[in-house]
Amino acid sequence: AQSVTQLDSHVSVSEGTPVLLRCNYSSSYSPSLFWYVQHPNKGLQLLLKYTSAATLVKGINGFEAEFKKSETSFHLTKPSAHMSDAAEYFCVVSDQGGGADGLTFGKGTHLIIQP
């Protein structure tokens, strides 16, 4: 079985300060992990993915995430927030034993950027 927990439903940071969006997962297999971003009334865009290579993964728009097996975490970070980063972020786990479709989505974290 697989599951994913996004620890914060809302995160608010000031523009120019660091961003941390937390995600913990569980998996009975060797999982792949993803972060997606969704701006209002838009589809989900893949930010980055971990599939077994380097544990520190760099994505688009300056985001990165680190896979920590010992902590079963895959937190998303960015050194300096920009107003355009305001959006909903989803953490996703996928493995060979996943649900009917093999993927499990977190419930999302709403990132608010204060000017």
**Contacts with other proteins, residue ranges (CB under 8 A):** 29-32, 34, 36, 41-46, 49, 51-52, 90, 92-96, 98, 100-103, 105-108
Nearest to 59 by CA among 87, 37, 31: 37
52 touches 113 (CB < 8 A):
no
Q: How far is the CB of 77 from other proteins (least distance, A)?
A: 21
Of 83, 85, 92, 36, which is closest to residue 61 (Cα–Cα)?
85
Residue with Cβ nearer other proteins (64 or 105): 105
- Find the distance separating the first CA and the last CA of the chain, reported in whole Å: 41
Q: How near is the Cβ of 53 to other proteins at its closest, in Å?
A: 11
**Closest separation in Å from C-beta 79 to other proteins:** 26
Query: Which string of DSSP letters, residue by residue, matches 9-29?
Result: SEEEEETTS-EEE-EEEEESS
The DSSP secondary-structure symbol of 51 reads S
- Min dist CB 39 to other proteins, Å, is 11
